[in-house]
Structure 1
Amino acid sequence: MQKIPYTTINGGSVPMMILSVFSMITFTSVYGFDSVWTEWWWTYDGFSGPAWWGTKWPICTMGRYQSPIDILPDKLLFDPNLTGVVFSSEKKINGNLTNTGNDITLFVDDVIVPLINATSGPLQYVYHLHHIKLHFGHDEASGSEHTVNGQAFPAEIQLYMFNADLYANYTQAMSSPNGLVAVSIFLEVGKIGNEAYTMISNALTHIPTKGQQHRVHGLPLSVLLPQTKEYITYEGSLTQPQCQETVTWVIFNKPIYITEQQLTQLRNVNKEGGSHLLIFGNIRPSQPMYNRLVRTNINFRPKTKVCSMVKEVFYEVNTVQTRSGR
């Protein structure tokens, strides 16, 4: 029979399990239920995985503008009025690369945030860069949250920016109309890694477990961004709780490249110290479309129909609005 561990408090023995529950209740009462629930409870698997997020945040399961999505080529709407997104990316990024336990996030320094902006294209306001997230899988068949015709990339970088014209900060914008834009960059395996991503990769060795941070200096956003003005855009949500539906997504038509070694290193980052539980698989499944439009400025009619976004996938762009969902 398994022995129950005990500890001593005020001369008496108390089961450790009861003490743990009491500590959790105390922590919840002091710091607030929502704080504990948001920061501690959710994961990407089991009873705290995406299928259960709606028990705390109903919009995660009931919302009609949830992300990510599977991009279906024959449902795309070509919009000739979509110009390229303009980034003021001359300023290099400084920030803290952090192992959150659920992903790898680069939190941009406050003094840098107002200096890196995005506007134009589908954006009616100016957006400031706040943080950058990485999502990745355990093999090359999975990894990106967004997919194309059911096909995933090995990893996906997501740049989160907030509406600086209407809101004072990211937290305020996160729950407000037109609050956020998320810029998605697919990662593909190549012989030579992207120079800007290599700076992130080099820092990963310093944050092998949850809660660890490492300073990143001088990351050039202009190098991290793919060299293309073509993209796909739709209205969606954050892909993590609390799943707010305040996000305009911009998904670039070209990937950037990382090496096989860099991808392996990414997959070896741990969730918890010494537990050997790895972060890989931090991917929310594709969400229903509910008749949303997915627009693009990719015009294949006068050019080739081969999309540069993914191998052996062809786009047939609609020139009229479609009403079919997934």
Structure 2
Amino acid sequence: MLQCSLLILTVLCVSIQDISGSWEEWWTYDGISGPGFWGLINPQWSMCNKGRRQSPVNVEPDKLLFDPWLREIQFDKHKVSGVLQNTGQSLVFRVEKDSKHQVNISGGPLSYRYQFEEIYFHYGMEDNRGSEHQIDHHTFPGEIQLYGFNKELYHNMSEAQHKSQGVVGISLMVQIGEPTNKELRLITSAFNKVTYRGSSYPIKHLPLSSLLPNTQQYLTYEGSTTHPGCWETAVWIIFNKPIYISKQEMYALRRLMQGSQLTPKAPLGNNARPVQPLHHRTVRTNINFNKQGVQVSSNCPDMYRNMHYTATQWPRDHNIRYRNIDDLALPIN
């Protein structure tokens, strides 16, 4: 009897260890392991359900706060090498840890230098969905997110993602069309190499700074990582122009699967977390609407007048439309 009890206890302990080790594999973007349950799957991910500074968010252009002290964003020009992997939840590029030349990200709203670590690809199976962040409730076909960690205060991403000002997230909205991003083809040409979960493919000499759209206009806010455990340590920067990929590249991306070659399961796409409440957070921008020739109210909030963050709503001119192809947030006549 004692031997049976010890055997049951041993099996139970092994099972618990197996569950703990597989938490990273359990979560998905739908069903009982989807975003609404992330905080229940793993107690360490409780912020996914309880946090009040969560990402992604819907950016409302008429509530942006112009901040004249936001600087230009700086990316080192070094090329990086790493591995593109199908994790079963997302397509992820991770930089080589022992690379001699790491890419630093600084400027903008950042008070420290951040070291680039990884890229996440979010996209939809149809053109009208895919991006995690939304602009005036407009969703793009995809969103590429570049993550870096605060190298001045922390040693690596694992440490930084739990700490204050630990992470930067750079959001690039993806649009289908021309001209396509030539540097991005180093990655898109490898899509057919990572069709199934667990498959990976090396990417060499990726010019990270060349992936960025040709603009220094951006939006920024304090938020979280958009995948478990939703740590509220991220400074988000959303560029005001998308990057472009071709229909053929998007078709190849949509062929990726969640499962293995033997059990491919469902397509990998539609891997976007729903938008989260702002909870009175302010979204700042370096776009000076008054210099864009746009008719706005004299009460338009900015940090020339307001030395603290506010979110006063601008009266919306119903004759203003919002460009959602070449500019994400800028109202034009």
Shorter chain as normaliser: what TM range? Answer: 0.7 to 0.9
- 270-279 or 60-69: which moved more? 270-279
Pairwise CA RMSD: 2.2
- Secondary structure of the 1:200 match is helix
Aligned to 1:203: 190
Return the match for 1:241 from 221, 228, 231: 228
Return the match for 2:70 from 61, 82, 94: 82
Aligned to 2:27: 42
Q: Does residue 97 in structure 1 map to residue 58 in structure 2?
A: no
Which amino acid in 1 is paired with 2:21?
S
CA contact under 8 A between 1:101 and 1:271: conserved in structure 2? Answer: yes
- What are the residue-to-residue correspondences of 1:27-176 with 2, within 5 Å? 28-31=15-18, 33-37=19-23, 39-55=24-40, 56=42, 57-88=45-76, 90-112=77-99, 115-176=102-163
CA contact under 8 A between 2:301 and 2:312: conserved in structure 1? Answer: no
Q: 1:26 to 1:202 in 2, by over 3 A?
A: farther
| CA-CA distance at 1:284 after TM superposition | 0.2
- Secondary structure of the 1:161 match is strand
Q: Does residue 300 in structure 1 map to residue 289 in structure 2?
A: yes
Return the match for 2:206 from 219, 226, 234: 219
- Secondary structure of the 2:184 match is helix
- Secondary structure of the 2:237 match is strand
User: Normalising to structure 1: TM-score of the pair?
Assistant: 0.84
- Secondary structure of the 1:199 match is helix
- Secondary structure of the 1:196 match is coil
Q: 1:47 to 1:156 in 2, by over 3 A?
A: same
Aligned to 1:5: none
Identity %: 40
Q: Does residue 265 in structure 1 map to residue 252 in structure 2?
A: yes
- Secondary structure of the 1:186 match is strand
Q: 1:82 to 1:211 in 2, by over 3 A?
A: same
CA distances 1:82-107 after superposition (whole Å, capped 9, x unpaired): 0111111x211100000000010001
Q: Does residue 232 in structure 1 map to residue 222 in structure 2?
A: no
User: Normalising to structure 2: TM-score of the pair?
Assistant: 0.83
Structure 2 CA distance for aligned equivalents of residues 209 and 109 of structure 1: 22
Which amino acid in 1 is paired with 2:272?
I
CA distances 1:168-194 after superposition (whole Å, capped 9, x unpaired): 111000101110001010111113421
- Secondary structure of the 1:44 match is coil
Aligned to 2:301: 318
Aligned to 1:278: 267
- Secondary structure of the 2:289 match is coil
Q: 1:216 to 1:64 in 2, by over 3 A?
A: same
CA contact under 8 A between 2:64 and 2:311: conserved in structure 1? Answer: no
CA contact under 8 A between 1:299 and 1:317: conserved in structure 2? Answer: no
Structure 2 CA distance for aligned equivalents of residues 128 and 142 of structure 1: 30
CA contact under 8 A between 1:76 and 1:317: conserved in structure 2? Answer: no
Which amino acid in 1 is paired with 2:72?
G
